[in-house]
Amino acid sequence: MERILTPRRIGANAMSLGTLAISDLRCIEQAEVELTPGLTLLWGENGSGKTSVLEAIFLLGRGRSFRTRNNERLIRRGTDRLRIVGQVSAAGDAMQAVGFEASRTGTTARIGGRPAQSLAELSQAFPVQAIEPGVHRLVEEGGYRRRRWMDWAVFHVEPQFMDTWVRYQRALRQRNAALKTDPAQAPAWDPELARLGEVIAESRRIFLDRMQPYWATAVADLSGLPVTLHYLRGWNLEHSLTEALTGSRARDELRQLTHAGPHRADVAVRLHGRPAREVLSRGQQKLVAVAMTLAQLRLLQDQTQTTPTLLLDDPAAELDVERLQRFIAEVAKLRCQLVVTSLQAESRLFGTPERTFQVRQGRVQPV
């Protein structure tokens, strides 16, 4: 009897982006793409626009790109506004339209036909994560990326976290402004800053504690290296944030900057006690960053009953055959919506795609 190959199974809680319409993003003037809830492959030559399509999807869920902090660079040359609209559905829910627009003066988002209050609402409407050739920077670069990595997950586990975080940022800006113009007023912000800051630090700590078992499995399976993650909350462990703010007041006034607080938090990535960025090769850094990403997705899957969509840009880059096989096996366990780019039309790394598009000079054509 002929063996029937069952298609790659998608989890019941997986997020799914259906129709995606892009206009004036990088080299893409207009594109309409119908993604499948399973595996979509985008293939094309260098510079054809594959990563730009993934950027469009990422923008819908994050309000920013994984390639640049400057949304203006994404707007197609010679035009003044980019637009992306997608139909998103979560586990058994009805479809909802999510839209994102960026012009030279700012960005706006719409969810379910209504303007979003903040871009942060996008991450709730459409959880999406990307693994792209720059992913190793999560290990290599400063704390900014690791804080963002942590906060995106904490926000999904604890929806009120974003509000606390926004209020903390506001208080911090006010305190820093006071340090520049009227230092005697700066301590007036300390009670608010300390209260919100402690809440943020505690939420992040809980998240990282819960992450540890997922992390241990993911990093061992992927890299085989005993790499550890240590949460550093942004001020001395022996003091409360109030004490730390008081203690660093002289330095704060001198440098006109607030030194203690969760805005200085980090996740130290270490191998045998040494910073991973100093001892790991680039390929190993990529594996560690991939492990951080996948561990986080597994945790969210268990805690929130939703599996984010995963974008894989040129996933084979920098990985040897064996590491790539392990990566593929880990991704398969997620059973999430996958959108993968490749230079090869026949790429079958993640199984047989249910839908394939060829990208050519900014045009996206179904194959």
Ligand X SMILES: Nc1ncnc2c1ncn2[C@@H]1O[C@H](COP(=O)(O)OP(=O)(O)OP(=O)(O)O)[C@@H](O)[C@H]1O
> From the list Mg ion, ligand X, none, which binds 76 (C-beta under 5 to 8 Å, kind-based)?
ligand X
Q: In angstroms, what CA-CA distances link 276 with 22, 228, 265?
A: 38, 9, 17
Residues in region 141-170 near Mg ion by CB under 5 A: none
Does 26 help bind ligand X (rule: CB under 6 A)?
yes
> From the list Mg ion, ligand X, none, which binds 223 (C-beta under 5 to 8 Å, kind-based)?
none
Q: In angstroms, what CA-CA distances link 131 with 111, 146, 252, 297, 339?
A: 25, 14, 38, 12, 11
**Amino acid, single-letter form, for residue 75:** I
Does 104 help bind ligand X (rule: CB under 6 A)?
no
> From the list ligand X, Mg ion, none, which binds 48 (C-beta under 5 to 8 Å, kind-based)?
ligand X
Residue 235 tokens, joined = 């001020």
Are 349 and 326 contacting, i.e. CB atoms less than 8 angstroms apart?
no
Binding residue count for ligand X, defined by CB under 6 A:
16
Instruction: Tell me which of 51, 258, 337, 356 binds Mg ion, using CB under 5 A.
Output: 51
Based on CB atoms, which residue is closest to ligand X, 84 or 241? 84
Stretch in the footprint of Mg ion (CB under 5 A) among 46-54, 175-183, 193-201, 267-275: 46-54
How far is the C-alpha of 308 from the C-alpha of 338, rounded, in Å? 9
Residue nearest to Mg ion (CB): 51
Q: Cβ neighbours of residue 237 under 8 Å, at least 6 residues apart? A: none
Smallest distance from Mg ion to CB 241, Å:
42
Strand 106-111, strand 96-103: pairing: antiparallel
Smallest distance from ligand X to CB 83, Å:
14
Based on CB atoms, which residue is closest to ligand X, 27 or 177? 27
Strands (E), the chain: 16-25, 28-34, 39-43, 81-89, 96-103, 106-111, 114-115, 128-131, 227-232, 266-271, 274-275, 309-312, 338-342, 355-360, 363-366
Instruction: Tell me which of 8, 18, 19, 27 binds ligand X, using CB under 6 A.
Output: 27
Smallest distance from ligand X to CB 84, Å:
14
Residues in region 117-176 near ligand X by CB under 6 A: none
Does 47 help bind ligand X (rule: CB under 6 A)?
yes
Based on CB atoms, which residue is closest to ligand X, 179 or 364? 364
3-state helix, strand and coil shares in percent for the chain, rounded to the nearest 5: 45, 25, 30
Smallest distance from Mg ion to CB 47, Å:
8
Based on CB atoms, which residue is closest to ligand X, 47 or 366? 47
Smallest distance from Mg ion to CB 58, Å:
13
Residue 254 tokens, joined = 């001198």
Smallest distance from ligand X to CB 57, Å:
12
Query: Quick one: which of 84, 51, 48 has its CA closest to 67?
Result: 51
> From the list ligand X, Mg ion, none, which binds 216 (C-beta under 5 to 8 Å, kind-based)?
none
Q: Which residue shows structure tokens 């540890």? A: 212
Instruction: Tell me which of 37, 38, 49, 127 binds ligand X, using CB under 6 A.
Output: 49
Smallest distance from ligand X to CB 17, Å:
18
Does 76 help bind ligand X (rule: CB under 6 A)?
yes
Smallest distance from ligand X to CB 146, Å:
25
Q: Cβ neighbours of residue 329 under 8 Å, at least 6 residues apart? A: 221
Cα 335 from chain centroid (whole Å): 18
Based on CB atoms, which residue is closest to ligand X, 27 or 268? 27
Based on CB atoms, which residue is closest to Mg ion, 51 or 223? 51
Does 48 help bind Mg ion (rule: CB under 5 A)?
no
How far is the C-alpha of 16 from the C-alpha of 90, rounded, in Å? 6
Residue 304 tokens, joined = 């929130």
* Binding-site ranges for Mg ion (CB under 5 A): 51
* Binding-site ranges for ligand X (CB under 6 A): 26-27, 44, 46-52, 73, 75-77, 343, 359
